[in-house]
Structure 1
Amino acid sequence: MKALMYYGKENVRIEDVPEPELRPGTIKIHPAFTGICGGDLHLYYDGEESGSNSKDKPHPLSGETLPIVFGHEMSGTIEAIADDVETDMKVGDPVVVESEMACGHCPACKAGNYNDCEVMGFIGVNGWGGGLSEHIVVDARRVYPIGDIPLDQAAMIEPFAVGYHAIRLVDVQPGQTALVGGAGPIGLLLGVILKAKGLKVIMSEISQARKDKALDSHAADVVIDPTKDDLLERVKEETDGKGADVAFDSVGAESVVHQLLSALKAQGHLIIVALHVRPVTMNLTKEMGFGEKFMGGSMGYANDHADAIKLIQDRHIDLSTFITDRIKVEDIVEKGFRPLHEDAEHHIKILVEM
């Protein structure tokens, strides 16, 4: 079969590879669409140091070294189901794949928090196949039916679940105000989910194109450019002087962390969703002690896909507004990686077809 293989920095190739075989407990899927995410860009432009396996070092769960089949944000249709799998799903059903890999034995996994696995990885990043192939075989427990959600929109359920999990970490209530730092793909999805849960959403963003997208897509009620307005004062104006109840960092910049903390109400929560590649320097007493503010991290998802899919269906959430292009796999560098890397302001999610 054809598959896009990731060899390392700026090195991906479409190759003929062995077609995966159905095994006990698994489902075989024909991928339809695979999204390109920020992690994929880091791998392509920065190289294998962004992942946890290399040409010489196998991933502890997959046992695979580079090259690996690329792509983890995938949707597709079922081609075959192993005889021992008990499921209501059937051949031809549209589905998505939960791509996290976990050992199942470490303390976090045993507690049900497999997204915090000590050796966590991702299908399509660390092995076990990937969405940028003609066929993939995965454990049945990783496959979720999507009903009438279009397959292209369904490829966004994986990052949608990332946002859903981050929000689930705090007790958000209808009528509260949430402050989201950044109107990139995850920030916009955070806004959509928060609004679906009845919160007022204020978004902080400096890019004009992304400010427009946040408002046009109804992911935010108010968008503030912190380079032009005082974020703290504007948030106070929007909250009768109280401050935001919760905040989410989807940018990964130190300045944004400080801004979000300052705009939180007393005993408010800040959740770090973004990946920070540099350390953040903080005055913990000044920024968190005074006001008894709380800060926590969010990583991936765990037991979130089914609820995330249900929310999309129940609230008739249209994710197509965030799809900025659909491309063929042979164009992934020129029409996928390059525009996302060089012109991220005007792209949210680019989907790839085999």
Structure 2
Amino acid sequence: MSVHGWHLSGVSQPDSVVVVGIGNIGLLAVLVAKAKGAKQIIAVGKYAPRQELAQRYGASLVLSPDDPKLAEYILERTDGLGAELVLEAAGTPSSLRMAVESARKGGKIVVLGVFHEDVSLDYRHILMTEKQIMGSIIYQREDFADAIDILGAGAVDLTHHVTSEVPLRDIVTQGFLPLSESKAEHIKIQVMPQT
């Protein structure tokens, strides 16, 4: 999904990328932005283990969404302009509003997160600043080759991305429940069918 979102944006080697939400998809979006030559990557997300992983994947700055100076920090790091590209990967109303605020005039916002409720945005602001918002769902066949190239380059160690392995027979108790109850501890839980 992160590679597909990047392709949809149409940007290449942007000066600045903001990734809002650093769960599985957001962390991979940081990795893709780094592999595609983004000069500066700012990741926004909760939970220290994920923040550390975002830095390991190439984020030059990691911020908490709860920081009252978040918008100020992003503007500081982007010479007062905002980001050329924002990848929204959290799927919450506040994260989408944050993504719109983080983009520069004429900037692009690609929505990777899945929303479970309606979101209200200041359309006048979007209109007056000519920001572009596009949705991205799943991936296309051609995205696979690019993803394989990125991972095959070996620039990043993905062993910390899978935070647990569970046998198929224990998928509910050792997989779904821990993942839903301990978001701070888990990113991706791998199911091992043969065990």
TM-score range, shorter chain: over 0.9
CA contact (8 A) 2:27 2:57 kept: no
Q: CA deviation at 1:241?
A: 1.0
Identity %: 30
Please state if 1:239 is matched with 2:78. Answer: yes
Q: Quick check: which one's helix share is greater? A: 2
Please state if 1:299 is matched with 2:149. Answer: no
In 2, distance between residues paired with 1:252 and 1:344? Answer: 15
- Pairs within 5 Å for 1:1-354: 162-199=1-38, 200-215=40-55, 217-286=56-125, 288-302=126-140, 303-354=142-193
Deviation track 1:223-258 (CA, whole Å, cap 9, x = no partner) reads 111312422211111111111000011101111111
CA contact (8 A) 2:14 2:85 kept: no
Give the alignment's TM-score, normalised by structure 1: 0.52
Deviation track 1:298-342 (CA, whole Å, cap 9, x = no partner) reads 011112112211222135443212010111111111110110010
Looking at both structures, which has the greater relative contact order when contacts are Cα pairs under 8 Å and sequence separation is at least 6?
2
In 1, distance between residues paired with 2:75 and 2:155? Answer: 32
Give the number of the structure whose alpha-carbon radius of gyration is greater: 1
In 2, distance between residues paired with 1:219 and 1:273? Answer: 19
Task: State the 4+ residue runs in structure 1 displaced beyond 6 angstroms.
Answer: none
In 1, distance between residues paired with 2:79 and 2:120? Answer: 30
Cα-Cα RMSD: 1.4
Q: 1:290 is paired with a residue of what secondary structure?
A: helix
Q: 2:129 is paired with a residue of what secondary structure?
A: coil
In 1, distance between residues paired with 2:177 and 2:102? Answer: 35
Deviation track 1:134-174 (CA, whole Å, cap 9, x = no partner) reads xxxxxxxxxxxxxxxxxxxxxxxxxxxx1100011112232
CA contact (8 A) 2:163 2:188 kept: yes
Deviation track 1:17-60 (CA, whole Å, cap 9, x = no partner) reads xxxxxxxxxxxxxxxxxxxxxxxxxxxxxxxxxxxxxxxxxxxx
CA contact (8 A) 1:181 1:203 kept: yes
**Structure 1 unmatched runs, 5+:** 1-161
CA contact (8 A) 2:18 2:41 kept: yes
